[in-house]
Structures are given as structure tokens and as C-alpha cells.
Amino acid sequence: MEEDKNVQQKSYRKVIDYIKEQIREGKLEMGGKLPAERELSNLLGISRNSVREAIRTLDNMGVIVSQHGAGNYLSGNFEHNLVETMSMMFYLNQIDYQQISQLRRALEMQALLLAIDHITEPEIEQLERTLAQLENEVEEINVILDKQLHYGIAKASNNTLIIGILNALSNLIDQFIYDLRRDILSTEDSRKILNEAHNEMLKSLITKDKNLAYTAINKHFDIVDIKLKETKGF
């Protein structure tokens, strides 16, 4: 059994090394189709069962996407895998709400600072529209618009890694504390502070004021952390 596992691991390594080499040589790019299982088996000198197992693992990782009857394609959809990994870490008590909030604070701070340098006028205009809606919409819509505002700032950072991790963290939070997020946005005092923080975040982008960006992000996450402590007692 141990020998079979080692063979599977070596086979998986051969498949992933082959994909990396194809990407490096410019023969495979995002959305590109991988060779059929039979062809990979012949190319790499491993069994079709080993190829199939490797493909299944890569699919679960988000490296590729398998389309029934059409083949396997390079997808680079790592965000889903990040969400699942962090969810398991949460269930196993390896991370908690406080650690998630701490990481979000650090990443959103950096995202906002980068966005100050890279944001475009159309992106600022879109954030202005989102913020205007956020301040006037009903409770349920607030949650959606709040996410859109933060995503818009992250996207303007032009940092793919920050965007991916923040989206994964946001999805993780939705799984566990959607009601808490809604509570923060619906409580008058905390909502007022968040609105101030959001307006300061937007103003920092318009005026290119990085000191204001620091103030705005810390104001935002201070109120979030207070609410988390009240609700979860960490």
C-alpha cells in the first residue's frame, strides 16, 4: 500500500512538472487544453489510472478544470482552493476570527496604499457610486455593497495575490459570520463609523493621501474587531 502511494506521488509529480514545463516553454497558457489522459500516459511513462488521479488532484487544487467529455483545461482558479484550505484550518482551530481580521487589516491596508498609486478615474467613479448606494440601501443590500467596495479597492491595487487572498478571506467570513457582518452594518453607531471609514478610504484615493489611508483602514477594522470580540468572545 505504501509503495502504491509513493508511485501515485511520483506520478502526480511527473504530471505537474510536465505542465510547468509546458507553461515555461509557452506551449500552454491559461485556458489551454491539456493532452488527453492516454497521451499523457504515453508521454510520461505512467499508467492512465495514475494520470487520472493526478488530474483529479490538480482539479481540486484549482490548477485545472475538467469538463466532462471535452477534456482538461488550465484554469488557475486557486481562490476556491484557498477558501477550502482556510475553512479546514478554521474547523481544526488552527485559525480564528481574530487572526482572520488581523490578516484582512494588513492586506486591505496594503491594497489601499497600492490603489492610491494605481487607481484610474473610472475605478474611482465606480467606487463613488458603490459608496453612495451603500449609505442609502437596506440592510441585506449593504452586505453586498460593502463587499463590492472593498473588492473594488483591492482590484485597483493591481496585485493579483492580494486580490485572491482577500476574496478567499471574504468568502470564508461569509461562511461563518455573515450574520455578524450584517449586524455591524445595521447597528447605527458602528455603521456610522464604518461609513466614515469608507468615505475616508475613498478620499485617500482621490487625494493620494496615504496617511489618511492608514487612519481609515484602522478605523474600519477597530470597529470590526470590537464587534467580533463582543459576539465571539476571543
All domains of the chain in start order, with CATH: 2-76 (1.10.10.10), 80-232 (1.20.120.530)
Which pTM does this prediction carry? 0.74
**Average pLDDT of adjacent 10-residue blocks, the chain of 234 residues:** 55 86 90 90 89 85 80 80 78 81 93 98 96 76 82 95 86 68 73 90 98 96 84 55
pLDDT digits (tens, 9 = 90+) for 89-127: 877 787 887 888 899 999 999 999 999 999 999 999 999
Q: Provide DSSP, the chain.
A: -HHHHHHHHHHHHHHHHHHHHHHHTTS--TTPBPPPHHHHHHHHT--HHHHHHHHHHHHHHTSEEEETTTEEEE---HHHHHHHHHHHHHHTTSS-HHHHHHHHHHHHHHHHHHHHHH--HHHHHHHHHHHHHHTTS-HHHHHHHHHHHHHHHHHHTT-HHHHHHHHHHHHHHHHHHHHHHHHHHHSHHHHHHHHHHHHHHHHHHHHT-HHHHHHHHHHHHHHHHHHHHHHH--
Dump pLDDT digits (tens) for 71-89: 889 887 777 777 777 778 8
